[in-house]
Amino acid sequence: MEPKPLPFTKELEGISAKTLAIHHDKLYAGYVKKTDEITGKLVELQKSGTYEGNATYSELRALKDAETFAVNGVYLHEWYFDVLGGDGDPGKAPELSKALAEKWGSVEDGIKYFSACAMAARGWSVLVWDIKAQSLKHYNGDWHSQGGVWGCIPIIVLDVYEHAYFIDYGADKKAYLDAFWRNFDWAKAEALYLKAKIVTL
Ligand SMILES: [Fe+2]
């Protein structure tokens, strides 16, 4: 697995190059590296035939636990970086805007609610297409391997770990959220929403 480059080259407004360098080049790239390491160890363990399925402690349990943490660390960051680099104009997402308005009153109310959910999260705040419910839903996760809901396709992934904003804003998480929305690429979210909502199980 190779780390994906940032999908934008322009400077973001309110999210500094220093934060991005640490966040993308070190943290995200670190999850990619660890995913490879864990995958390699799982393959070795399976081939060795010495694996033990013990839920209190076993090498297999420790690796499987680390695997979901690392893989979610990779995927969630890729979704997060992928919708940055925009101009914050929801007009570029007509269908998604309509859906947000239907669900939460207006696009502004949808963003306001999302930001409040993000303030309440310790790690991730995610707008998804819930395939079972056939609806947009909003879920929070406090760490990579917690909070994810099976059968959902992420549309907007917001990283609210302190590493995403502390250099730029200290403890002012709200100011970071405002910057996130200013840099949000609504056209990309629209494309994802249109692809996701045709999926049925
Ligand atoms: Fe992060």
**C-alpha of residue 144 to centroid of ligand 1, in Å:** 9
**C-alpha of residue 46 to centroid of ligand 1, in Å:** 31
**C-alpha of residue 102 to centroid of ligand 1, in Å:** 30
- Count of H helices and E strands in the chain? 8, 3
What is the pTM for the complete model shown? 0.94
Query: Roughly what angle, to the nearest 10 degrees, separates helices 29-48 and 59-82?
Result: 150
Q: pLDDT over 70 for what percent of the chain? A: 100
Mean pLDDT, residues 88-104: 98
At 147 the pLDDT is 86
User: What is the per-residue pLDDT across 139-196, written as a single tens digit (0 to 9) for each?
Assistant: 999 998 888 888 899 999 999 999 999 999 999 999 999 999 999 999 999 999 999 9
At 200 the pLDDT is 84
**C-alpha of residue 48 to centroid of ligand 1, in Å:** 35
**C-alpha of residue 27 to centroid of ligand 1, in Å:** 7
**C-alpha of residue 151 to centroid of ligand 1, in Å:** 23
**C-alpha of residue 150 to centroid of ligand 1, in Å:** 21
**C-alpha of residue 81 to centroid of ligand 1, in Å:** 9
At 201 the pLDDT is 74
**C-alpha of residue 52 to centroid of ligand 1, in Å:** 33
Mean pLDDT, residues 3-20: 96
**C-alpha of residue 53 to centroid of ligand 1, in Å:** 31
Mean pLDDT, residues 24-28: 97
Return the SS3 of 189.
helix
Residue 67, pLDDT > 80, answer yes
For residues 199 and 201, give the distance between their C-alpha atoms in angstroms, rounded to a whole number.
Answer: 7
Mean pLDDT, residues 89-96: 98
At 145 the pLDDT is 86
Residue 199, pLDDT > 80, answer yes
Q: What is the 3-state secondary structure (H, E, C) of 58-91?
A: CHHHHHHHHHHHHHHHHHHHHHHHHCECCCCCHH
**C-alpha of residue 200 to centroid of ligand 1, in Å:** 30
Q: What is the mean pLDDT of the chain?
A: 96
Residue 65, pLDDT > 90, answer yes
**C-alpha of residue 106 to centroid of ligand 1, in Å:** 28
**C-alpha of residue 3 to centroid of ligand 1, in Å:** 14
Q: What is the 3-state secondary structure (H, E, C) of the chain?
A: CCCCCCCCCCCCCCCCHHHHHHHHHHHHHHHHHHHHHHHHHHHHHHHHCCCCCCCCCCHHHHHHHHHHHHHHHHHHHHHHHHCECCCCCHHHCHHHHHHHHHHHCCHHHHHHHHHHHHHHCCCEEEEEEECCCCEEEEEEECECCECCCCCEEEEEEEECCHHHCHHHHCCCHHHHHHHHHHCECHHHHHHHHHHHCCCCC
At 15 the pLDDT is 97
**C-alpha of residue 93 to centroid of ligand 1, in Å:** 25
At 19 the pLDDT is 97
For residues 43 and 45, give the distance between their C-alpha atoms in angstroms, rounded to a whole number.
Answer: 5
Residue 112, pLDDT > 90, answer yes
Mean pLDDT, residues 29-56: 97
